[in-house]
């Protein structure tokens, strides 16, 4: 549980830092998006730490491109 | 440019771009690709690498044609001009996913290589995390800084490749290259397949960098890119030729890092030995450039899709995302080999060639072009103080 709490605390601290840095430069929209992506990244890290079942993104790519790559690979391996 | 010079990210010369292209093309491919090509084309793998050069230039020519129509815009911006706002954003989103995945894959290659060859007891996440800190800093400083780093690395890369090629001459066995074209041209032609995606179609990063070329340098662009393609193609041919002639087909197919294995066999009269670490150093340098450019393209396209005034706010979150992504992209090394050899080429060609080609076709069909400057503003504009607020302050 320790690493997860550390991740959340880190994300919280970084969010405050990002918000203040961007607010100082009058970049509110930039700051909001940065915090959104930061929490997205932290969610992936926490999911990895908790060993939640996550299919690799390469599997999605393989599933989408299967009708194209399978015939080509069959031709290459076919001799 | 220093880090305090506003939201823009500098300009580069055609020469710097061609060096970046060379380092990107050599990038992770120099160490990993030969094994894939040799497994298909066997002893004719160097012919495959030779055949691939025209494809490389043809792919880049598509980006140059798009650049001619929209000289100061990235793909994220002209996609919206060509396909309309929402469809353009959808196209950009696919590129954002592509670059994020590419970043994860490249970082996975680095951590895999370092943990297997140099730092076996260090956890992968630590290697990836520390590598990403340097990448984040480089991307934060902008394309100009990456290009200058590329200039230093370019000279070193050529020197080390030249040195290794020269010192391997006494280890070459011409018998390993025979029989040439035993199965006709089908072997070398099939050997092109993995190279088309890795690294040829990945060069779509150019669409994010081309607008950063200085105006006076644009005339030299085609020539410099041509030289870069020839040089990276030539290095690919030399590396493939050396691997097969030094290690032989069987050994080259077995080793996941065949160039590194090949460098281990360098022995000049027991004086010059164990120089493989030079290969590792150069490889880390070229991979650094590749990853920095990939992350730069990712954050630039994402921030332009979201209509942000600077890409810098997104650098840290996206780098933080790529580290866990690099740990989950592959289940194991067999999955990595299968994906890289079979799937990636089709996906990369669809994303890096077919999609830009479709955009070009539509742009030509409807004669869409724009000289509008889409680059980030030089300084972040200050919000003007309203008259009422000024009066309050005076009061």
Residue B319 lies inside a defined structural domain of this protein: yes
CB-based contact, B190 to chain A, within 8 Å: yes
Q: Domain segments of chain A: what residues? A: 2-78
Q: What is the ipTM of this complex?
A: 0.91
Q: What is the CATH number of the domain that holds B364?
A: 1.20.1740.10
Report the range of poorest mean pLDDT among A4-8, A43-47, B27-31, B97-101. Answer: B27-31
B189 in Cβ contact with B51 (< 8 Å): yes
Residue B109 lies inside a defined structural domain of this protein: yes
CB-based contact, B317 to chain A, within 8 Å: yes
Residue B159 lies inside a defined structural domain of this protein: yes
Report the range of poorest mean pLDDT among A21-30, A41-50, B140-149. Answer: A21-30
In tens, the pLDDT along B248-287 reads 888 888 877 888 888 888 877 777 778 888 888 888 999 9
Task: Give me the number of domains chain B comprises.
Answer: 1
Residue range(s) defining the domain that contains residue B198:
14-394
What pLDDT is recorded for position B300?
93
Of B129, B81, B140, the C-alpha closest to B107 is: B129
CA B344 to chain centre: 14
Is it the case that residue B382 has pLDDT exceeding 90? no
Q: What is the mean pLDDT of chain B?
A: 86
Residue B8 lies inside a defined structural domain of this protein: no
What pLDDT is recorded for position B394?
46
B91 in Cβ contact with B352 (< 8 Å): no
Report the range of poorest mean pLDDT among A46-60, B167-181, B231-245. Answer: B167-181
Residue B3 lies inside a defined structural domain of this protein: no
A56 in Cβ contact with B331 (< 8 Å): yes
Chain A contacts to B (CB-CB under 8 A): 14, 18, 21-22, 25-27, 29-31, 33-35, 37-38, 40-42, 44-45, 48, 54, 56-58, 61-62, 64-65, 68-69, 72-73, 75-76
DSSP string, B293-311: HHHHHHHHHHHHHTT-S-S
Residue B9 lies inside a defined structural domain of this protein: no
**Helices B186-195 and A57-78: angle between axes, nearest 10 degrees:** 170
Greatest CA separation found in chain B? 92
CB-based contact, B370 to chain A, within 8 Å: no
Interchain pair A34, B317: CB under 8 A: yes
Residue B234 lies inside a defined structural domain of this protein: yes
Residue B6 lies inside a defined structural domain of this protein: no
* Distant-in-sequence, close-in-space partners of A27: CB < 8 Å, separation ≥ 6: B308, B309, B310, B313, B380
């Amino acid at each position: 549980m320790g690493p997860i709490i550390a991740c959340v605390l880190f994300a919280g601290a970084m969010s405050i830092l990002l918000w203040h840095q961007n607010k100082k430069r009058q970049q509110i929209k930039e700051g909001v998006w940065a915090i959104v992506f930061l929490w997205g990244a932290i969610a992936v890290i926490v999911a990895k730490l908790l060993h939640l079942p996550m299919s690799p993104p390469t599997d999605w790519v393989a599933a989408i491109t299967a009708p194209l790559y399978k015939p080509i690979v069959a031709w290459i391996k076919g001799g | 440019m220093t880090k305090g010079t506003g939201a823009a990210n500098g300009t580069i010369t055609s020469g710097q771009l061609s060096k970046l292209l060379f380092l990107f093309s050599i990038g992770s491919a120099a160490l990993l690709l030969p094994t894939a090509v040799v497994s298909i084309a066997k002893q004719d793998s160097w012919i495959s690498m030779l055949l691939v050069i025209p494809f490389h230039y043809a792919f880049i020519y598509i980006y140059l044609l798009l650049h001619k129509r929209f000289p100061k815009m990235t793909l994220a911006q002209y996609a919206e001009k060509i396909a309309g706002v929402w469809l353009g954003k959808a196209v950009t989103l696919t590129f954002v996913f592509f670059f994020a995945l590419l970043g994860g894959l490249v970082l996975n290659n680095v951590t895999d290589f370092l943990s297997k060859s140099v730092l076996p007891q260090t956890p992968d996440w630590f290697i990836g995390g520390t590598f990403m800190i340097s990448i984040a800093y480089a991307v934060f400083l902008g394309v100009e800084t990456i290009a200058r780093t590329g200039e230093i690395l370019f000279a070193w890369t050529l020197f080390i490749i030249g040195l290794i090629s020269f010192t391997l001459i006494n280890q070459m066995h011409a018998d390993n290259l025979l029989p040439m074209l035993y199965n006709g041209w089908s072997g070398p032609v099939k050997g092109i397949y993995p190279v088309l995606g890795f690294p040829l179609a990945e060069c779509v990063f150019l669409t994010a960098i081309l607008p950063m070329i200085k105006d006076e340098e644009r005339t030299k662009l085609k020539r410099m890119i041509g030289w870069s393609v020839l040089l990276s193609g030539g290095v690919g041919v030399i590396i493939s030729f050396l691997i097969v002639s030094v290690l032989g087909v069987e050994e080259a197919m077995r080793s996941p890092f065949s160039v590194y294995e090949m460098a281990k066999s360098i022995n000049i009269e027991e004086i010059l030995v164990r120089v493989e670490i030079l290969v590792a150093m150069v490889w880390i340098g070229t991979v650094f450039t590749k990853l920095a450019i990939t992350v730069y393209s990712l954050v630039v396209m994402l921030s332009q899709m979201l209509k942000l005034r600077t890409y810098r706010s997104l650098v840290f979150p996206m780098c933080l995302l790529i580290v866990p992504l690099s740990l989950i992209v592959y289940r194991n090394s067999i999955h990595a080999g299968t994906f890289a050899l079979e799937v990636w080429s089709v996906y990369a060609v669809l994303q890096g060639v077919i999609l830009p080609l479709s955009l070009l076709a539509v742009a030509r069909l409807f004669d869409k072009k724009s000289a509008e400057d889409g680059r980030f503003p030089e300084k972040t504009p200050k919000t003007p103080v309203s008259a009422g607020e000024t009066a309050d302050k005076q009061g």
